[in-house]
Structure formats: C-alpha cells, structure tokens
Amino acid sequence: MSDPMEAYRIDAEPYYRPVGDEIELFEAAYAARMPMMLKGPTGCGKSRFVEHMAWRLRRPLVTVACNEDMTAADLVGRFLLDAEGTRWQDGPLTLAARHGAICYLDEVVEARQDTTVVIHPLTDSRRVLPLEKKGELLRAHPDFVLVISYNPGYQTLLKDLKQSTKQRFGALDFGYPEHAVEVEIVVHETGVTTAVADKLVAIAERARNLKGHGLEEGISTRMLVHAGKLIAQGVEPRAACRVALVRPITDDADMRDALDAAVATYF
C-alpha cells in the first residue's frame, strides 16, 4: 500500500536560524506530546520553524490554513460520493492524528469557535478524535501532536480563542530577530551581501518604531526577504524597497513619503 503521508514528509532540512532556545523547548514539548501555540506577528518565522521542527523530529507535517468559512468537517473529514458509492475521506486533522504527523493549524483564530472545539479532546489527556458521522472514536497515534499559530494583536472580542482552548497549549513567543541574526537570515534567504542586508534590516527597524504611530504592523522579515530577492535579481535597491517594503504596508501618502525617505538615507 502506498504511504498516505508521502506528500507530507520533509526530506531536506528547511533553513531555520534559531533566535533563542525555541528548538530545545519545542523538542521537550514534543517529547511530552504537549500541544504548542506559536505566537507572533506575520512574517517572523513561525511557519518556517514548524517545518524545521517537523524535519528535525522526522514527522510528517500537515498544515491547514484556517479561515472563518472552515467547518468541523473540513478538519475532520466527510463522506464523499463516487462511482462505488460513498467513501469516507479523512480531513487533515484526522489524517495527522491517525498517522502520527504534526498538524499545524495556521491562523487558528480565523476559525469559528464551534470549529475550534473539535480539537479539544485531541489536546488533553484523552487524545481522541470522535468521528461522529463515521461512528469512529479515533485514538491519536502516539507520535501525533497539534501546533497552532496565533497573531496576538489581530484579535477582536469576537475573534479570539476561548480560554478553554488556549489553556490546552504551551506557547512560544516569536518576534523579529535581533539585528545581526536578521541580517544573517536575509543573506541566507536571498544571496545579497551582508552590507545590503544590514541596510534592509536597519530600514525595517525604523519602520517597526512607527507601529502604532500610523503603521498597523512593522516591516516583517518576510518583506526583507522579498526586497533582498529583488535586489539579488538586479533591481535598483530603492525601487526594490518601494515595491517590497513600503507599498505593501501602507496606502497613506505621508507615511509612504516618510518610509521612502528612510530608505533613501540607506540606499
């Protein structure tokens, strides 16, 4: 029989530059099969970290991008109609729990609370998933673990995780790395020189100080990687920064001018 997890295995090491003791902590949490929550702003390395950890722990990784239209059946599975009749198809959560993968629910607050509660019996000492429609009580594979990501600050009163969900997880905080580490990441991901990466990171640091003062969110490591890739393609640095760093994060003309001016002091 073919390996149902084939597509979810990670063979080559995903590059991840640790910023603290997150690798050791995640390994300990995994050894205890503790579900984990990765908190931090967009583009700061959460997804890359999970990919790296799945590779390191030699587990397949099943990722689900959550959204508000997602139903419990989208996670758990459903009966499908085909030529031979009806056939049960495991959803991503069930697949991961059955075969011992790491299941990564990205942007979990986007899911409705009635969807989120299906993870409850899987994330406490029961480690089971009731497949009600199928009449099966699935016992999670011993290697299964659930990881969720969460962007603190994007929540509203209506859109937040319940305490009964949050309290099932251990949490790791992610943020933008310190200067030298972020330079190293940008160099590795794009091939620009250290001198260029150093300037890009300095621009991002300036913009991050404007968060809450006209900018909703700072320039992320992901955006710096975009800018670096354009520069590595031969795009003139100021144009690369306009396209990859400034235009995406604000539509406000004054803020764009301020950021363009910051770019001009470096390039």
Ligand X SMILES: Nc1ncnc2c1ncn2[C@@H]1O[C@H](COP(=O)(O)OP(=O)(O)OP(=O)(O)O)[C@@H](O)[C@H]1O
Binding site for ligand X (CB under 6 A): 15-17, 19, 40, 42-48, 106, 149, 151, 177, 185, 189, 221-222, 225
In terms of CB distance, is 144 or 150 closer to Mg ion? 150
Which value, in Å, is the radius of gyration of the alpha carbons in the chain?
Answer: 21
The answer to whether 204 and 224 are in contact (CB under 8 A) is yes
45: partner contacted, choices Mg ion, ligand X, none (Cβ within 5-8 A by kind): ligand X
**In the chain, which ranges are E strands?**
36-39, 61-65, 77-82, 85-90, 102-106, 128-131, 136-139, 145-150, 170-173
The answer to whether 100 and 139 are in contact (CB under 8 A) is no
Tokens of 120: 């409850």
In terms of CB distance, is 172 or 259 closer to Mg ion? 172
In terms of CB distance, is 14 or 121 closer to ligand X? 14
Q: How far is the CB of 46 from Mg ion (least distance, A)?
A: 5
* Residue numbers 18-57 binding Mg ion by CB under 5 A: 47
44: partner contacted, choices ligand X, Mg ion, none (Cβ within 5-8 A by kind): ligand X
Work out the end-to-end distance of the chain between its first and last CA atoms, rounded to an integer number of angstroms: 57
In terms of CB distance, is 219 or 231 closer to Mg ion? 219
In terms of CB distance, is 144 or 150 closer to ligand X? 150
Q: Is 221 near Mg ion (CB under 5 A)? A: no
- At 34 the three-state DSSP class reads coil
Residue, CB closest to Mg ion:
47
In terms of CB distance, is 57 or 258 closer to ligand X? 57
* Residue numbers 87-146 binding Mg ion by CB under 5 A: none
The size of the interface with Mg ion (CB under 5 A), counted in residues, is 1
Q: Is 190 near Mg ion (CB under 5 A)? A: no
Residues 198, 178: Cα–Cα separation, whole Å: 12
Beta strand 61-65 pairing with 102-106: parallel
Contacts of 227 (CB under 8 A, 6+ apart): 200, 240, 241, 243, 244, 245
115: partner contacted, choices ligand X, Mg ion, none (Cβ within 5-8 A by kind): none
Interface residues with Mg ion (CB under 5 A)?
47
